[in-house]
Structure 1
Amino acid sequence: MNTPLQKIFLSILVVLISCSSLAQKRQIKKANDNFDKFSYIDARKIYLEVVKDGYESAEIFKKLGDTYYWNSDYDNASKWYGELIEKFPDQTDSEYYYRAAQSLKSLRKYAESDAMMEQFVAKGGSGMLLKNFKEDPDYLKSISLMAKEYTLEEVSVNTNLSDFGPSYYLDKLVYASAKNSQGGEIYEWTQQPFLDLFIADMDENGKLSNSKRLGGDINTKYHESSTTFTKDGNTVYFTRNNFYEGKKGKDKDKTIRLKLYRATLTGDNTWTNVVELPFNSKEYSTAHPALSVDEKRLYFSSDMPGTIGMSDLWYVDITGDNTYSAPVNLGPSINTETRESFPFIGSRNNLYFSSDGRAGLGGFDIYVTPLDADGMPQKISNLGEPANSVLDDFGFIVKDDEGIGFLSSNRGLDAEGNNNQGGSVADQIYRIVEKCVISIEGTVFDEESNALLPGSIVTLLDENNKEVMRDTVGADAAYKFVADCSKQYSVRGANEPNYKPREKVVMTPDKTGEIVVPIPLVRTCPPDDLGCRLCLQPIFFDFDRYNIRPDAEIELAQIAAAMRQNPELIIHIESHTDSRAPNSYNETLSDKRAQATLNWLVNVGNISRSRLSAKGYGETQLLDRCVTLDECGREVRSACYDGATVQEKCSDGVKCTEDEHQRNRRSMFIIQN
């Protein structure tokens, strides 16, 4: 029975619970508002507090995971996505399985990541994300095989704040940094000062020094980053918050987006005349510009209408003084449902960019694709380690002819020297130097027919004949090895038991490049050719004669010995002539040679006549022009006339050398089943 005091207590408790629930809802609404404005750090604090108080929902776990994921803290992102998937699987969209898979990959948990991708597929995941996953399930091996060899080191101008987005400016380097912010304000997303552009001297080895803020009107109290300069150094395109002529611009959700701007250099080496590019909008972001080699096209990243994913690569043609064509999306061959960003065009017309929508090592990975004559992407390759890591790698630039470049990454150590778990606040710039490496590649094929030989084994040996690596070629019979410059190697191909091994010595040059080393293999002896299997010299005859010569007796003695040791052997003798004399005469002559050979084996070699048969073939099986070596190193094929067919070169009256005719006057020994 309830007493009045108990009723009062229960009433108060209901009011307190209701107030607490309303307070939690207000907190979540505030966090959601901060989240939608990209103030992830502040939003995170509120979400964590709500969860600590015992309130959970799919929406909270999604947003918590995202606050870490979009700040590249994949350890914590993985934790909260895991909570989401475990506790609210029915409310978890496929995209969160993908982000969970990406987070696990960044923790080197590749098996768990692949399992999460299978759930992504089961949840209806589709598009390029599914295509990339299905096309290359063994992506780690593929990335390893394609990896470019680089050495990496942090540049001297890095700070304990965010430094990233390098670009070349004449003989200097321009980059974005949060150090010494002139505005003094803190960016809510990262809790760091806003970014400014800095310029540093660069020596011939890519070493940086004397960093200082870029002069003129480019830097403001808000973000500036990601530049691209014309070759003459007089024009720059750059990224900035929507802040122009002292005024902030916000989208309908009160968020300040990113825009592209252009500035020019005045006579006193000051950047001024800042103008906004006309295809910007306050409702979407445009960022990370890159000029084509001929400077007639500007590539960039954007989430403007028509974007396939969260951000795509686009381009505009530069048609005049700050006039441009309509933006063109680079399309689904390169853009995915997630993020593509930070384009850069090298001097060899290769497009480098970063994406988290492809099979990679984790986080943002750097990819490269050659551009065709229309500036469109072709085959896309992952740069592999060490250019890529399990965390975020982006902002890649390189002077192709020199093999020296730079990239941005959050893979390093924090300010205290502790192992860094990632995060955009840890972005640093790395100098990269391409190692001098040689790609040795080719195919294995039948020397006579040119048919490819899948399943062949190709081995790379060093100068001491020690195995460096080996490969079993696939259906395309192609192999590829990566070797050092200025060294001697041997490339050995084998396809046993049908072909003889072939080995070629290679001296690699002193500059990065490719060497094509085809491996033609010669068939081993036909299984029924006893003379070939015993490495015998052919049984030759003199012109217009059928007597057994002394040199032929030596070879016949070996045939006889083999037959005595192997009483099951039954031999058919085939005898031939050269092309001189009429066909009918040569048929009779070859029959006499066949019988003379048989009689020698019977009368001298003591072989039973029942184990032998013989026939002459006249001039019907003349040897062709190619010279082929058998496994004993002898020439077994030749001809008597260059450039002609067998019928042309071997008809009566064709003039051949005596050696060429001699090769055709022969007997062969075929093992019968």
Structure 2
Amino acid sequence: MKTKINLLACLLFSISSTSFAQQNSLDKADALFNKFSFYKATNAYKELIEKNYNKDYAYRQLADCYSFMRNPDSASVYYKKTVVQKNVPVEYLYNYAQSLRGIGNYEASRTWFENYKKQGGLTNTSIFYNDDEFINRIYNSKQQYFLKDVIFNTKLSEFGAYEHHGNIYFTSTRDAGVAKKFKSGWDNQPFLDMYVIKKGSTHSVVDNKYKIKGKVNSVYHDGPLTISKDGKTMYFSRNNFKKNILKTDNQEIGNLKIYQATLVNNKWKKIKELSFNNDTYSTGHPALNNDGTKLYFTSDMPGGYGGTDIYYVDINPNGSMGKPKNLGEIVNTKKDESFPFVNSENTLFFSSDGHLGLGLLDIFGTVANENNEIVNVLNLGIPINSSKDDFSFFMNEDGNSGYFASNRKEGIGSDDIYAFDRTPLLKIESTILNKEGLPIENATVILLNSEGHQVAQLQSDKNGKLEIGIDRNSDYTIKVEKVYYIQDSKKVTSKNIDDKTTIIKTQFNLNPIVKKATLIAEFSTIYFDYDDVKINKTSMRILDTMADLLINTFPNVTIKIESHTDARGSYKYNKILSNKRAQATYNYLVSKGVNPSRITEYTGFGKQNLLNNCDSIPNCSEAQHQLNRRTQIFVNETN
């Protein structure tokens, strides 16, 4: 992965020999930094700090060195000294916040992201605003990945584990017993080579004899890799070099390229460079889709969204490659996305430090719609992700096992490979119906554990359905409640259920608490304002309850609407007014989902059915008049 760096020039002229020597030391340190020899540069900058020469600048460079070496513990120490300097570039506030995430100090990290934004930082930090909710969700979600150590890790770096035809392929910087092992100036580790070991092998010492046979390993970086389903074609990353001489771009960066190899007599030969490579930028981390028609990869080519992005090319029937296509801003961010992998269901996984995560690089899965368009990305959570770098995800065809790499503290080396077993999450899928078999919306469903403690509470949707995640090998009680219905409950167990089962289905058929007519009568009368046909807020609430009863509790009941006015005004006018009120009531119930066929009639009676003597009493109060301005709903006797 390559990062473009804007360096600060520091040219100080002095006539003293001491100052001249120190300037030479600074130039040497910057030269090492410019060549991405960060390990050696750290020692050079530390010497300058010890000599008290240009300390502020040395602290900045030293912090960046550790950041590029993916060492947040040391980076945070020196970024802390940097951010208090006068006129420090605002980017260092962002870098400090990221390093704090890398060591798991999320509270301090949020503070410095806020400081970065207040100082005019341009990078979108909105993804960090939901940290509290995100961290709580990640750490409290039900675990489905369970980690296992592999026996072939070393004190150096191993990653890119890839299982194929009973073999485990991986990439490593280990000293494999060769006479001379070249080292990378980036982190002072040996260059990467690709290895293979039989799955289930008990050999903990994987040395030179386990290197992949053929011409795919060079004196520079080689790996990671991907292999076609038929096992005949390999794609792999390699440093750009010619005749064992590393080629660099105009910034003296040794870029990566993707190469293709063919299996000939059990050896990988016929190495050729892919057509979309370029000497001026990197392409690497190849990954094939399930049917081998697309090749995904990482690149920092111009025109992307940020540092490195995920791209893909179509592989044509004749083996030629199409043009690279960027996966877009749902996957790619202003930071770095890398290490794509596509599982047997063509779901893309990748690593990123630009999406909301637990620290540095986190592993994400993608969500696609019915058109196979990526619409969202999901953090895989713990224990796959940690506060450090987590990357090079691989999942076997059954989806229940795989590998990834991490430089987390629990490891034995720089980067270690971890195997995982995945037990799919188990959930209860409940359907809440009335006794006629129609769905009940907004029923309250309470989940109790074996000790009677509530562990979840949800509401049923418009189809009467809901889902609740549960633990395996546990006992539960489900209680269902709904106003005007008799409460119901059931015992559910997840014991002795095989790991492939993901859903336990339950169904409830609730019985109403009282007779239809009695219940509906409680919500059968609404009142109108004087000389008005608009339904007021109080009446709206009553009619909302009526609609809910008709739809969810008594779906077979039919009703009729009768509307009346007070005594004021002529018979003709009040007849028209009451008809309009009956019509308004009908329209409102229909707008709330009541089938029009269930309202058999809606009629206005004007002032002919008064409830008091206001037609003959000249001084009736407004309250007495309002009693007459009523609309009533009746259950038809045939119900």
Q: How big is the shift at 1:468?
A: 6.7
How far has the Cα of 1:413 moved from its partner?
4.2
Q: Kindly indicate whether the alpha-carbon contact (under 8 Å) linking 1:355 and 1:367 is maintained by their aligned counterparts in 2.
A: yes
| Pairing partner for 2:358 from 358, 361, 372 | 361
Aligned partners of 2:216 and 2:81: how far apart in 1?
44
* 1:492 to 2:479 alignment: yes
Which letter does structure 2 place at the counterpart of 1:348? E
- CA separation in 1, counterparts of 2:460 and 2:284? 43
Are residues 256 and 466 of structure 1, via their aligned partners in 2, closer, same or farther at CA, if it must alter by over 3 Å? same
Q: What's the counterpart of residue 470 of structure 1?
A: 456
Deviations 1:624-652 (A, max 9, x none): xxxxxxxxxxxxxxxxxxx996589xxxx
| 1:163 pairs with 2:155 | no
**Would the alpha carbon gap of residues 647 and 470 (structure 1) be closer, same or farther in structure 2, given more than 3 Å must change?**
closer
Aligned AA for 1:219?
N
Displacement of 1:368: 0.4
Tell me, yes or no, if structure 1 residue 175 matches structure 2 residue 164: no
Taking the aligned partners of 1:493 and 1:17, their CA distance within structure 2 comes to: 87
What residue in structure 1 maps to residue 29 of structure 2? 31
**Structure 2 CA distance, aligned partners of 1:525 and 1:126?**
63
| Contact 1:227 1:239 (8 Å CA) reproduced | yes
Q: Is the Cα contact below 8 Å between 1:446 and 1:453 reproduced in 2? A: no
1:327 aligns with 2:314: no
Counterpart for residue 434 of structure 1: 422
Q: How far apart, CA to CA, are the structure 1 residues paired with 2:454 and 2:415?
A: 37
The whole-number CA distance in structure 2 between the counterparts of 1:410 and 1:291 is 25
Contact 2:288 2:341 in 1 (8 A): yes
Give the secondary structure class of the aligned counterpart of 1:104: helix
Alignment of 1:20-169 (within 5 A): 20-56=18-54, 59-88=57-86, 90-93=87-90, 95-126=91-122, 129-134=124-129, 138-144=133-139, 148-169=143-164
Q: Find out whether 1:196 has 2:184 as its counterpart.
A: no
Matched, 1:343 2:366: no
**Contact residue 201 and residue 209 of structure 1 kept, 8 A:** no
The answer to whether the 8 Å contact 2:447/2:476 transfers is: no
Aligned equivalents of 1:489, 1:412: Cα separation in 2: 38
2:531 alignment partner in structure 1: none
Alpha-carbon distance, 1:302 to partner: 0.8
Offset at residue 402 of structure 1 (A): 4.9
Counterpart of 2:224 in structure 1 is 226
Is the Cα–Cα contact under 8 Å of residues 339 and 392 in structure 2 kept in the other structure? yes
Q: Deviations over 1:597-654 (max 9, x none)?
A: xxxxxxxxxxxxxxxxxxxxxxxxxxxxxxxxxxxxxxxxxxxxxx996589xxxxxx
* Matched-pair contact (CA < 8 Å) for 1:444–1:453: no
Q: Aligned partners of 1:47 and 1:304: how far apart in 2?
A: 31
User: Matches of residues 628-639 of structure 1 in structure 2 within 5 Å?
Assistant: none
Q: Give, in whole Å, the separation in 2 of the partners of 1:40 and 1:521.
A: 69
User: TM-score scaled to structure 2, two decimals?
Assistant: 0.71
1:468 and 1:153 map into 2 onto residues whose CA distance is: 33
Aligned-partner residue type, residue 329 of structure 2: P
Distance 2:88 2:441 in 1: 53
* Correspondence for 1:559: none
Residue 309 of structure 1: how far off its partner (Å): 1.2
For residue 447 of structure 2, what is the aligned residue in structure 1?
459
CA distance in 1, matches of 2:457, 2:92: 39
**Partner residue in 2 for 1:284:** 281
Letter in 1 for 2:92: Y
Q: Relative to structure 1, is the Cα distance of residues 145 and 297 closer, same or farther in structure 2, using a 3 angstrom cutoff?
A: farther
Who is 1:589 aligned against? Answer: none
Code of the aligned partner of 2:162: S
Structure 2 partner of 1:660: none
TM-fit CA distance, 1:411: 1.4
- Contact preservation (8 Å) 1:251, 1:282: yes
Could you say which residue in structure 1 is the equivalent of 2:502? Answer: 513
- Decide which structure has the larger Cα Rg and report it: 1
309, 312, 317: which one aligns with 1:312: 309
Q: Point out the more displaced range, 256-265 or 466-475.
A: 466-475
* 2: CA distance, partners of 1:229 / 1:475: 46
Aligned partners of 1:459 and 1:493 also within 8 Å: no
Q: 8 Å contact 1:202–1:208 — kept in the other structure?
A: no
**Conserved 8 A contact 2:406-2:416:** yes
* Count of equivalent residues: 512
* Residues in 2 aligned to 1:220 and 1:19: alpha-carbon distance in whole angstroms: 45
Say if 1:236 and 1:263, in contact at 8 Å, map to a contact too: yes
Q: 376, 379, 392: which one pairs with 1:395?
A: 392
Give % identity: 32
1:458 and 1:479 in contact (8 A); partners too: no
Give yes or no for contact 1:143–1:360 (8 Å, CA) kept in 2: no
Question: What is the deviation of 1:122?
Answer: 1.7
* Structure 1 residue 67, shift from structure 2 partner: 1.1
Q: Alpha-carbon deviation of 1:130?
A: 2.2
In structure 2, what residue type is equivalent to 1:346? N
* RMSD between superposed Cα atoms in Å: 3.8
- Does structure 2 conserve the Cα–Cα contact (< 8 Å) formed by 1:525 and 1:532? no
Q: Which moved more, 1:130-139 or 1:312-321?
A: 130-139
Contact 1:457–1:494 (Cα < 8 Å) also in 2: yes
- Alpha carbons of structure 1 residues 475 and 513: separation in structure 2 relative to 1, 3 Å: closer
Distance change in 2, residues 1:23/1:348 (3 Å): same
Q: 2:469 maps to which residue?
A: 482
**What residue identity is the alignment partner of 2:477?**
S
> Which residue of structure 2 lines up, in the alignment, with residue 629 of structure 1?
none
Query: Once the two structures are superposed, what CA deviation does each residue of 1:40-90 show, in whole Å capped at 9, x if it has no partner?
Result: 1111111122122223465433322121112221111111111111123x3
Partner residue in 2 for 1:545: none
CA pair 109-502 structure 1, distance change in 2 beyond 3 A: farther
Q: Is the 8 A contact 2:298 2:340 kept in 1?
A: yes
| 2:82 partner amino acid | L
| Matched-pair contact (CA < 8 Å) for 2:73–2:99 | yes
- State the TM-score, normalizing by the size of structure 1: 0.68
Structure 1 residues 178 and 491, CA gap change in structure 2 (3 angstroms) = same
